[in-house]
Structure 1
Amino acid sequence: MNLYAVGKTLVKTALSPLYRFQVSGTEKFPKTGGVLLCSNHIHALDPPVVGMTAPRTVHFMAKEELFKAPVLGSILPKVNAFPVKRGMSDREALRTALKLLKGGEVVGLFPEGTRSTDGVLKKGLSGAGFFALRGNADVMPCAIIGPYKPFGKVKVVYGDPILMDPYRERKASAEEVTEAIMASIQKILDENAENK
């Protein structure tokens, strides 16, 4: 049995009574090929929420501390998560992510590197741009618009894919690509801010 699919169903079952999820833009998600899924990060529930709303299986980078937790540590690898050290300078995590992307999989990460306590999008880490350029994948920007209040609305909006070929052709830097990714996420946030 596919534990990821089971986990997705369990997450939906557990969270749907607590929050009113509004999901849009999933039709823009590339149906095949490697995809780097980048989202803002406002709550601990963001990874399972993105995982349950994305139309394809997502392999998430998760901070290595989570893999040391008694129960969570044994579950994470079974739902396609893999550890990364803070700052995204972990070579093993780099190799894992690039292998997945080049193999046509979806890798999810939160470029800010940590949660935003005030909901304001922070500067992205250059690791996001590195993966986008080197992973033979395009980028899918996503924005989660909360706050996560019981029985309140939580919007998950997928934007237009960012095609990486033009950036690769002109040998853009990882920093420039990360800035483009963050600008796309900010654009989604801005466009949906009025109707939170």
Structure 2
Amino acid sequence: MNLYKLGKALCAIIFYPLYRIKVVGRENIPEKGPVIICSNHISNFDPPIVGITNNRNIYFLAKEELFKNKFIGGILKRVHAFPIKRGMRDRNALRKGLDILKQNHALGLFPEGTRQRNGEIGKGLAGAGFFALRSEAAIVPCAIIGPYRKFKPLKVAYGKPIDLQPYRDEKAPAQVVTDLIMEEIRQLHKIHSEKG
């Protein structure tokens, strides 16, 4: 068993009972082909939570600072994380992300770029739109509905893939596409928050 699968199994054993995770819409994630999962960001636990609530092996972008410690950086790389400089203007990271999608893998993004501790969904950075426009990946919105409290329910909702082909045909600005993705996440969050 590789480190990614081991880590995923251990996180599932810990987080599912700890946060009583409920998953909605898992069937909306394509089983094959390139996919970008775009989620809101409320906690450092979000990447493993997204990782264990679907059947794809996800490659996550992580802030460059986390890789400065060689031990931690080494572990992160072995669990499919790769570094990006803040602001999503890192060309090497953008190329790496596109290469991952070209290989029909899943890419995990938190378009806000930083945690929103107040639980609100903030404005997304243009990087998510860049990946969406420059690839043929399915774009799946994800809403993590918290907060994280021990033994209190945490819901993870996946929406249907967003049809971005018209935006690709029109060569829309990356920020416009990111704003559309974030609005889908907001609506998903609102619907499933109300359902309880």
The 5 Å alignment of 1:9-24 reads 9-24=9-24
Residue 117 of structure 1 corresponds to which residue in structure 2?
Answer: 117
Deviations 1:97-125 (A, max 9, x none): 01111221111010000000101000000
Aligned partner of residue 107 in structure 1, secondary structure: strand
Residue 93 of structure 1 corresponds to which residue in structure 2?
Answer: 93
Task: Give the superposition deviation at 1:74.
Answer: 1.8
Amino acid in structure 2 at the alignment position of 1:191: I
Amino acid in structure 1 at the alignment position of 2:145: I
Task: Give the superposition deviation at 1:192.
Answer: 1.2
Amino acid in structure 1 at the alignment position of 2:63: K
| Mapped partners of 1:161, 1:167: distance in 2 | 14
Whether 2:150 is the aligned partner of 1:154: answer no
| Mapped partners of 2:56, 2:16: distance in 1 | 19
Residue 68 of structure 1 corresponds to which residue in structure 2?
Answer: 68
| Mapped partners of 1:69, 1:24: distance in 2 | 36
Deviations 1:85-106 (A, max 9, x none): 0001111101100111122111
Aligned partner of residue 140 in structure 1, secondary structure: strand
Task: Give the superposition deviation at 1:70.
Answer: 5.3
Residue 187 of structure 1 corresponds to which residue in structure 2?
Answer: 187
Task: Indicate if the aligned counterparts of 1:40 and 1:185 stay in contact, CA closer than 8 A.
Answer: yes
| Mapped partners of 1:135, 1:82: distance in 2 | 18
User: How many aligned positions are there?
Assistant: 196
Residue 82 of structure 1 corresponds to which residue in structure 2?
Answer: 82
The 5 Å alignment of 1:11-50 reads 11-50=11-50
Residue 129 of structure 1 corresponds to which residue in structure 2?
Answer: 129
Task: Give the superposition deviation at 1:195.
Answer: 3.8
TM-score (norm 1): 0.96
Task: Indicate if the aligned counterparts of 1:38 and 1:109 stay in contact, CA closer than 8 A.
Answer: yes
Aligned partner of residue 30 in structure 2, secondary structure: coil
Please list every run of 5 or more consecutive structure 2 residues that lacks an aligned counterpart in the other structure: none
| Mapped partners of 2:165, 2:195: distance in 1 | 34
| Mapped partners of 2:49, 2:92: distance in 1 | 26
Please say which of residues 41-50 and 100-109 is displaced more in the overlay: 100-109
TM-score (norm 2): 0.96
Task: Indicate if the aligned counterparts of 1:137 and 1:164 stay in contact, CA closer than 8 A.
Answer: no
Amino acid in structure 1 at the alignment position of 2:194: E
Please list every run of 5 or more consecutive structure 1 residues that lacks an aligned counterpart in the other structure: none
RMSD of aligned C-alpha atoms? Answer: 1.2
Amino acid in structure 1 at the alignment position of 2:28: K
